[in-house]
Amino acid sequence: MSSVSPFRSPAQKAEERTAKRDAVLRAAVRMFNERGFHATSLDDVAASLGISKRTIYHYLANKDQVLLECVTLGLEQLIEAATAARQEAGDGRYRLIRFLHRYARITMDDFGRCIIRTGEEILSPESRPRFRALKREIDMALRGLIEEAVADGSIAPVDSRMAAFALAGALNWPARWHDPKGSLSPETIAVMLVDILTKGLDPRA
């Protein structure tokens, strides 16, 4: 017989609550990505977890908040990836490439895909500023990594704003075309895309 108390500690309760909330978000994000936000109801999300919609409301206020939490989780992964890349040893190009590889893999993952597949206009006017601020933070981090690599001469001089848009666009797009059941792994795709972007189309002498 287990000697573990049948009464849960506050820490255990909080952990359980987080786990349940996460499960709701993970079920929701998959449906949003597959069917679209408007075609997904919280009833569908609840049904996929064998719970009722009322149970979801224990953890999240409404469908708009569910979506905002989903894109926030994706954006936080990107921000963490940028922070980690900045702390790497090596030259600017190395740190930039490390970030780009992780960036691409995140946008092929559930929460990352949701960022790209969610137009700002889908969120409520109240939720948009947070979405925009987090996206701007990532854009700024990417520009910063580009500028550092230009400064130490490890990449060619380039307009950092436009380069950030070109890189982000190329690496965001798998959120639309990548088939998780396809033959190439996200890791392989990330490396191939970044390789094309670093080498460019023009032949090298």
**In the complex, which residues of this chain contact a copy of itself (CB under 8 A)?**
34-36, 38-39, 93, 96, 117, 119, 121-122, 149, 153-156, 158-159, 162-163, 165-174, 176-177, 189, 192-193, 196-205
Q: Which is nearer to a copy of itself, 14 or 140 (CB)?
A: 140
- Work out the angle at residue 93's Cα, subtended by the Cα atoms of residues 137 and 172, and round it to the nearest 5 degrees: 45
Q: Which is nearer to a copy of itself, 86 or 135 (CB)?
A: 135
For residue 52, the minimal CB distance to a copy of itself (Å) is: 26
Residue 100 and residue 192 in contact, taking contact as beta carbons nearer than 8 Å: no
Distance (Å, rounded) from C-alpha 15 to C-alpha 144?
A: 36
For residue 183, the minimal CB distance to a copy of itself (Å) is: 11
For residue 181, the minimal CB distance to a copy of itself (Å) is: 16
Query: How many Cβ atoms are within 10 Å of 9's Cβ, its own excluded?
Result: 9
- The one-letter amino acid at 141: A
- Work out the angle at residue 51's Cα, subtended by the Cα atoms of residues 46 and 56, and round it to the nearest 5 degrees: 60
Q: Which is nearer to a copy of itself, 20 or 86 (CB)?
A: 86
Q: Which is nearer to a copy of itself, 79 or 170 (CB)?
A: 170
Q: Which is nearer to a copy of itself, 3 or 183 (CB)?
A: 183
For residue 59, the minimal CB distance to a copy of itself (Å) is: 25
Distance (Å, rounded) from C-alpha 147 to C-alpha 191?
A: 22
Residue 107 and residue 172 in contact, taking contact as beta carbons nearer than 8 Å: yes
Distance (Å, rounded) from C-alpha 160 to C-alpha 140?
A: 10
For residue 138, the minimal CB distance to a copy of itself (Å) is: 12
